[in-house]
């Protein structure tokens, strides 16, 4: 895994935006929280970053504003 990844990094794949909420380099585990209204919409891309990029995934502008989640991956308060 590339050392450039960090918690809070924003990503995009398959028309979905997300944020890295957990990173364990020694376990090659990287957990993404997707920007959906689901309570816990997370995926572990354990050792699969090359696959992530091969599928069209990318790191996005860190100023991107999520619709359903905060920058830390928690759900936004419902209005």
Beta bridge partners of 69: 75
Q: Binning pLDDT at 50, 70 and 90, where does residue 79 land?
A: low
Tokens of 48: 């699969």
What is the rounded average pLDDT of the residues 57-70?
Answer: 96
- For the four alpha carbons of 3, 42, 79 and 77, in that order, the dihedral sign comes to negative
Domain spans of the chain? 1-73
Domain spanning 1-73: which CATH class is it, in words?
mainly beta
Give tens-digit pLDDT for 21-45.
998 877 778 899 999 999 889 999 8
What whole-number distance in Å separates Cα of residue 44 and Cα of residue 21?
Answer: 10
pLDDT at 48 over 70: yes
The percent of residues in the chain predicted with pLDDT above 70, rounded, is 90
pTM of the prediction?
0.84
């Amino acid at each position: 895994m590339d050392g450039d990844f960090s918690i809070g990094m924003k990503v995009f794949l398959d028309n979905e935006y997300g944020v890295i909420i957990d990173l364990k380099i020694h376990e090659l585990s990287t957990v993404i929280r997707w920007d959906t209204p689901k309570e816990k919409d997370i995926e572990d891309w354990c050792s699969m970053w090359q696959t992530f990029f091969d599928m069209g995934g990318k790191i996005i502008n860190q100023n991107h504003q999520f619709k359903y989640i905060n920058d830390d991956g928690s759900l936004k308060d419902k209005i």
